[in-house]
Chain A
Amino acid sequence: MKITVDGLEDLTRGAAFLGTGGGGDPYIGGLIARHAIEKHGPPEVIDVMDVPDDAWLYIIAGMGAPTVMIEKGLSVEAASLAVEKLESHIGHKAHAILPVEMGGLNSLVPVALAAMRGLPVVDADGMGRAFPEIHMVTYHVYGVSTTPMVIANEHHDFCLIEAANGKRAEEMGRALAIQMGLNVMLSAYPMTGAQAKQTAIRGTLSLACHIGRAIAEGRRTGEPTEALLAYLRTTPYYNHCAVMFEGKIIDLQRETTRGFSIGRCTLAALNGSSSRMEFTFQNENLLARVDGKIKAIVPDLICVVDQDTAEPITTEALRYGQRVKVIGTSVAPSMRTPEALEVFGPKGFGIDEPFRPIEELF
């Protein structure tokens, strides 16, 4: 399989769905991927199981502020530089580019870089969704070191960071990003094929493409949400899925604290019942309750889509009066282990509730 210009629309929409409300608007990411593919040709997608154990894989992600990104765009050159500097530090060339976040904007950056470098892109990532911080990833949970990490910008400035742990790497990275223009590319978690096979979540790039395609095809028959759910049920990790609530947004509170967009959204049922859903978010959607009872909790997916078109809606685009469906899905088993939940389970977001798998909450 290759990611072609025609396939980008599906990938972009699927990435917005897996963004669970956050991850950044994939629009600009889709544009730079398109530009790179038009210029260099479509990149090959490979299964992580087909990567030789001793081959090296490099991740790439954008880091910065959305307002800066909509002015400065994203630099594939900076992405290339970050990986190149990490390659020479490690002493091994990249066999392929490995996605880190298959949700929102950062789903597209590896595709653009793979096209530019003429490398394959691995059909896997480290979360199968979006998360706000660098250490919230299975690579970190299962023992791949966050550093060495390189941060680069469009000026060809770069900085190599070694840190004692992932959290410190994140803090240093943010401080640097500000000085470097708040729109930087970072490559971290350099790893071998063997490490990737143990830690990555398999099949998530093609998953995003198929999600986008299912929604698009469903629109032709008038049932996009049903088409999406029918597809998800055939997948190994996202098979426990359902529309948890269908309703109208009747209340929305949000504030920006410590750089995060934090808030709470309340929906009223459309079928005349007095039932209510409330979900909370910190960039991504975290916890959904119906009439006070928990229906889904992070890291399981809570995705808001338009009632008619199943177009994914980010937390920034939520508005009073919107008619939406809220879909919940399970995630990969490696996202739900005690050590994973320690990092990006409810506790990682300051939520005082235990994690319970969505299939037990239906």
Chain B
Amino acid sequence: MHVGVDVGGTNTDAVIIDGDSVLAWIKTPTTADVSSGIVTALSAVLSDSKVSTDAITGVMIGTTHFTNAFVEGKRLLKVGVLRIGLPAGRDLPPMIDWPARLKEAVNGHCAMVHGGNEFDGREISPLNEKEILQAARDMRAKGLKAIAISSIFSLINPKMEERAEEIIRNELPDARITLSSSIGRIGLIERENAAIMNASLADLSVQVVSSFRQALRTLDIKAPFYVSQNDGTLMSADFVERYPVLTFASGPTNSMRGAAFLSGVKTALVADIGGTTTDIGMLSGGIPRESSVTVDIGGVRTNFRMPDILAIGLGGGSIVREDGDITVGPDSVGFRLTEESLIFGGKTATASDIAVAAGHADFGDASLVASLDSAYVRRASDAIHTKLEEGVDRMKTSAEPVPLILVGGGAVLISQDIAGASQVIRPDYSSVANAIGAAIAHIGGEVDKVVAYEEQGRDAALSGVKAEAVARAASAGADPHTIEITDVEEIPLSYIPGGAVRVRVRAEGALLHA
């Protein structure tokens, strides 16, 4: 039996899952110390389901904690950044594109040294160890404990980053060091940014993981726990301590995977309708389609594995206005729904009021919207549906109709068929799809590198990369018998001879139970 927990900014949700069935679920407020909120949520589902703590084989936690901390610039460490690659990259120093506020909070020291690789593996320059030693001493003099190391084309050869780590470790034995090659993709600035972000969260990650541990100890749960990463796969507790940045944006992925699980439909659009926005994404074979564009987090450019999500201004709190035509959103009363909407005695017409007046939802005081003109209610309800239809149409990958799965508290807004959707599915437990997505997640492994098809042949080169991805998933804790390749992307490199192709392969497998 698995327990899934979603620690959001507002709510902490928990579910207990046995195979395909949800045994118990709860939504509770998130607490400042994180731990006591988790204890409350877990105690509730344990007592509801009467499951003994010994029967639990894994606890999976999804959290927005690290994303929020980074964006707010709070509790971050100052980072020493070492970039290997001179004389290349001199005109693009580290953190050049960071917003001033975050740069101020995170920039401890930046050093650029000679070294790095070309696209074909040749050295740009030999690694200059003296320069690294000097940088390490400068960082020690500034009292820095968090270090990020990047090197040009380190995904083709990570050795220079690894050697630099040894040298720095010698000078700064207690340093928390992040190598860009261990977390990023091709694109130096974006990969280096991810490494710096990760290093800045080094203290917080230890604290948060220890509060997760403490919550489980309080309840005497001995099962190992895992944390969701942005592609929806899991990492172990030790791993998240080292790579907290990989939790960024795991929320939408969990909710989409949860929707696939709850509905039993693997290829579909998912609309997660909240209070202010609706996130629409596309599931293909149970896996969210990935975004192909760079993603800004707090204004810092990254190229993480993020699901391709369209956020539209439609939710339960969306404000309904009539000015000839009826419009819905994009502004919302948000968390003040229970004060400002008509059904709670307020003065603002919201999408929730329309759903209650139309008889599709039952919350608040329906008598307060009973006097609304029925033609107005119908037109407003049509406007809500049209808005979702437009979003659905934008996210479809082909003209063929596909199923649409509705999750989230605002799913009650939708009562009619949606154009472009072959069917509209409203699964049970959809308000905790996030926690469910965490509970059912797999262990993954990804490899992103440039290979030469003309040298090795396409088949040999591809199977080499696939084997690497499978080995990564296995070493992260996946059951080797269940590992499958879930994604292969081949991008031929323009202007490069020799059939150089950038290959990205992802593998996933079920959690291996000890």
Residues of B close to A321: CB separation below 8 A: 393-397
Q: A72-B152, A317-B292 are in contact. Are A183 and B88 (CB under 8 A)?
A: yes
B495 in contact with A70 (CB, 8 Å)? no
Residues of A close to B91: CB separation below 8 A: 32, 35-36, 73-77, 112
Is B356 located at the chain interface by the 8 A CB criterion?
no
A71 in contact with B152 (CB, 8 Å)? yes
Task: Give the contact stretch, choosing among A99-107, A174-182, A187-195.
Answer: A174-182
Residues of A close to B96: CB separation below 8 A: 31, 34-35
Task: Give the contact stretch, choosing among A61-69, A89-97, A289-297.
Answer: A61-69
Q: A72-B85, A259-B495, A321-B395 are in contact. Are A65 and B119 (CB under 8 A)?
A: yes
CA–CA, A65 and B119, complex, Å: 10
Residues of B close to A323: CB separation below 8 A: 394
Is B340 located at the chain interface by the 8 A CB criterion?
no
A72 in contact with B188 (CB, 8 Å)? yes
Residues of B close to A319: CB separation below 8 A: 292
How many residue-residue contacts, CB under 8 A, span A and B? 113
Is A349 located at the chain interface by the 8 A CB criterion?
no
B394 in contact with A73 (CB, 8 Å)? no
The CB with the most chain B CB atoms within 10 A, among A32, A71, A77, A323, is that of A71
Q: B473-514, CB under 8 A of A: which get 1 and which 0?
A: 000000000000000000111111100001000000000000
B90 in contact with A154 (CB, 8 Å)? yes
Of B87, B393, B495, which one neighbours A154 at CB under 8 angstroms?
B87
B495 in contact with A65 (CB, 8 Å)? yes
A75 in contact with B495 (CB, 8 Å)? no
Is B237 located at the chain interface by the 8 A CB criterion?
no
Is B44 located at the chain interface by the 8 A CB criterion?
no
For chain B, residues 378 to 434, give those with C-beta under 8 angstroms from any C-beta of chain A. 393-399
The residue on B at minimum CB distance from A38 is B96
The CB with the most chain A CB atoms within 10 A, among B119, B153, B292, B502, is that of B119
Is B118 located at the chain interface by the 8 A CB criterion?
yes
B393 in contact with A178 (CB, 8 Å)? no
Residues of A close to B398: CB separation below 8 A: 320
The residue on B at minimum CB distance from A75 is B91
The residue on A at minimum CB distance from B87 is A154
Is A274 located at the chain interface by the 8 A CB criterion?
no
CA–CA, A76 and B87, complex, Å: 11
Q: A35-B91, A68-B119, A181-B118 are in contact. Are A260 and B494 (CB under 8 A)?
A: yes
B92 in contact with A67 (CB, 8 Å)? no
Residues of B close to A320: CB separation below 8 A: 396-398
CA–CA, A32 and B97, complex, Å: 10
Residues of B close to A35: CB separation below 8 A: 91-93, 96
B119 in contact with A67 (CB, 8 Å)? yes
For chain A, residues 318 to 341, give those with C-beta under 8 angstroms from any C-beta of chain B. 319-323
Is B375 located at the chain interface by the 8 A CB criterion?
no
A71 in contact with B153 (CB, 8 Å)? yes
CA–CA, A321 and B396, complex, Å: 6
The residue on A at minimum CB distance from B282 is A321
Q: A181-B118, A323-B394 are in contact. Are A67 and B502 (CB under 8 A)?
A: yes
B494 in contact with A66 (CB, 8 Å)? yes
Residues of A close to B493: CB separation below 8 A: 65, 67-68
Q: A112-137, CB under 8 A of B: which get 1 and which 0?
A: 10000000000000000000000000
Is B187 located at the chain interface by the 8 A CB criterion?
yes
CA–CA, A73 and B186, complex, Å: 12
What is the interface of chain B, defined by CB distance below 8 A to chain A?
A: 85, 87-93, 96-97, 116, 118-119, 124-125, 152-153, 186-189, 292-293, 393-399, 450, 491-497, 502
25 A-B pairs within 8 Å (CB atoms) are namely A28-B92, A28-B189, A34-B96, A35-B93, A65-B494, A67-B450, A67-B493, A67-B494, A67-B496, A67-B502, A70-B187, A70-B189, A71-B187, A72-B89, A72-B153, A155-B87, A181-B124, A182-B119, A182-B496, A183-B88, A248-B394, A259-B494, A319-B292, A321-B393, A321-B394
Nearest 3 CB-CB pairs, A to B?
Answer: A73-B92, A65-B495, A256-B492
